[in-house]
Structure formats: C-alpha cells, structure tokens
Chains A and B, each alone.
Chain A
Amino acid sequence: MTSDSWPLWEVFVRSRRGLSHTHAGSLHAPDAEMALRNARDLYTRRSEGVSIWVVPSTEITASSPDEKDPFFEPSADKPYRHPTFYEIPEGVKHL
C-alpha cells in the first residue's frame, strides 16, 4: 500500500423506510466519516436512499458462497488465490 491509497468500504443503502439496507457497491475513503459522505454523493445522488451504512471491506466475514454445494466450499477461505494477496516489491514487472 502506498501512502496515498485509501481503504475500500462496502456501502449499504436503505432505499426507503420499511426496507432493510441493501448492498449498493463499494468506494474508497480515508475514514468512516468521509466514506459516509462519499457514499451519499455517489450512491444516493438521485435520491435512492434514506439511510446509509459503510463498512470496511476487510471487516466483512462471509460464509462460503454456495453452501448447498460442497464443491465451492474449499475456495472461499483461500485469499491466496488472488493476486492482491501477495506483496510484490515496487518496480517488479510482469507478475
């Protein structure tokens, strides 16, 4: 991570009273306060919501994606399959 990159936040929007918050997408923000404001500007600029939650993406714990299917189970807890799991020194190319 470089000093000017901001963490990722997941955004949940309650579209109107009586409904629960629904995942709308994600965004980057330096902290929770800014994340809320960015979410307001981005995900509710056409009055799509009455309430917003923001959660750091890394704070979300997920079950396996498809629990009725055991084939999927082993892959869910393997972040090392993803390229971003690995720290590569700056300047190293073609990886």
Chain B
Amino acid sequence: MSTPDTRETAGPGVETSAITAAALALGDDALVLSHRLGEWAGSAPVLEEEVALANIALDLLGQARILLSLVGDEDELAYLREERSFRNAQLVEQPNGDFAHTIARQLYFSTYQHLLYGQLAAGDGPFAGLAAKAVKEVAYHQDHAEHWTLRLGDGTPESHDRMQRACDTLWRYTGELFQPVDGLDLDHTAMESAWLDSVTAVLTKATLTVPTGPRTGAWAAGAGRQGLHTESFGRMLAEMQHLHRSHPGATW
C-alpha cells in the first residue's frame, strides 16, 4: 500500500483537479459496473432477477452521470477516452462470469461503496449531497448482494462451490478499493477494516471460507486508479464506444 498523497494544501487549482480526479474515479466505477450489469439483460437466472439487476445498473448509471458531469461532458468522457484514461478500480471491470461471480463482485463492491458514500454523506465535502442520495441506493445493492451470497453459499453443494470460487477469484481485486484517492478526504484504514469485518461476517454466515490470498495483484497495487486495467476491459470499451465513435460529432 502506498503512502497517502496529501495535496489539499497545494492551492485552489490543484484542489479543483483533485476533486475532478475523485469524481472521475467514482464515476468510472459506477459507469463500468453499470455496463457489466447491463450485459445480464435477457440472461438472468429468473425473471424477478432481471428486474433487480436492472434496478442496480440504473442506480449506478445515474450516479455515473452525475459524477462525470462534474468533470466534463458525460458522453465525451464515457465514449471518447482510451482505456488508459479510465480511473475505475479493476474489480468493477471484471467480466460477469456466472451468477456467483456477479454476486461476489456486487458484494465486494457494494460493501465498499456503502462505506464510502456513508462517510462522504456524513462530511461536508463536495460529494456530500450526491452521497446522501447514493448511500440509500447502495444500501439496497449491498442488501441484495448479501441475501444472494447467503443463498448461494448455503444453498446446494454446487452453488457453494461456485460462490467460493467466485469469492476467491475476485479477492485480489479488493485491496485496491482502499487506496487513497486524490480529492477524497477519507479514513481509508478504518474503511478497510470495516469492509473486512462486514464481508467476513457475510461469508461466514454463508458457510463460505474467507479467502486468504493477497488482496492486490503482485505486479501492481491499485492499478485501475492509475489507468492500468485488465485485458477484458479494452474489449468492453470497444463494444461500448464503437457506435458513438463511428459518428464523430453526431447527436443522439
């Protein structure tokens, strides 16, 4: 884990760009995860879950649009940036996999996001207003993920295995979430330990083993926030951006 970069003393210009950087990081998280959840449309395990996943995706897309609009034009940012300019954590770009992978990703991320927006909403920073609304949405996402984690973990032997595998696979992407982000004045250490407590409690209740592997990749720590992503992300962006880019300057 790198040392926190404290730049709030560096003057108004830098502060603005720090806030912009934070909005971009949080906005990209929401944008990318919303996109991944949108890929489920028409393929959910049961119709009721189509509706639930779409609700979460729509909440996230709403958050993304507000956050990106703080930085610039939402569509330019979403459609015209290259892969290396995205600041989302690597966790949210991970492919859907089976339903267990999607739920594990949701559990890890929504638990983090709930803590994050909870802290932001309680403060008086530039994101307090947005966070106050988002924290309610995210509480529901977390609730959804926890209920499914219990059912998959403590359901059938097959679902247990799948859920365990998903939790193990995605574990290494969770450390990055607690790297300090410019422009967010948060107690990351406290957030991380609250996150560990919460996730441990859910996994244990779900009869799952809390993964023991490293929580960051060995080759880089928190690479997504620095614009270093995983292979499948480029393909996701190619699909997301191709139509917009095929018609430069067009309005839709």
Contacts and interface: CB of A to CB of B under 8 A. Distances in A.
A27 interface: yes
Chain B interface category by residue count:
under 10
Given A28-B48, A45-B51, A45-B55, A37 B151 contact: no
B51 A38 contact: yes
Contacts of B151: 30, 34
Contacts of A37: 52, 143-144, 147
Nearest to B155: A30
B46 interface: yes
Nearest to A28: B48
A28 B46 contact: yes
Nearest to A35: B48
B46 A42 contact: no
Given A28-B46, A30-B151, A41 B55 contact: yes
B147 A41 contact: no
Nearest to A34: B147
A33 B147 CA distance: 8
Contacts of B51: 38, 41-42, 45
Nearest to B150: A33
Contacts of A55: none
B141 to A, nearest CB: 11
Interface string B131-166: 000000000000110010001000000000000000
Contacts of B48: 27-29, 38, 41-42
Nearest to A40: B140
A29 B144 CA distance: 14
Interface string A15-38: 000000000000111100110011
Contacts of B55: 41, 45
B193 to A, nearest CB: 28
A35 to B, nearest CB: 9
A38 B144 CA distance: 10
User: Which of B52, B143, B144 gathers most chain A CB within 10 Å?
Assistant: B52
Nearest to B151: A30
- Among all A-B residue pairs, the 3 with the closest Cβ atoms: A38-B48, A41-B51, A41-B52
Given A28-B46, A41-B52, 16 more contacts: A6-B46, A27-B48, A28-B48, A30-B151, A34-B147, A34-B151, A37-B143, A37-B144, A37-B147, A38-B48, A38-B52, A41-B48, A41-B51, A41-B55, A42-B48, A45-B55
24 contacts: A6-B46, A27-B48, A28-B46, A28-B48, A29-B48, A30-B151, A33-B147, A34-B147, A34-B151, A37-B52, A37-B143, A37-B144, A37-B147, A38-B48, A38-B51, A38-B52, A41-B48, A41-B51, A41-B52, A41-B55, A42-B48, A42-B51, A45-B51, A45-B55
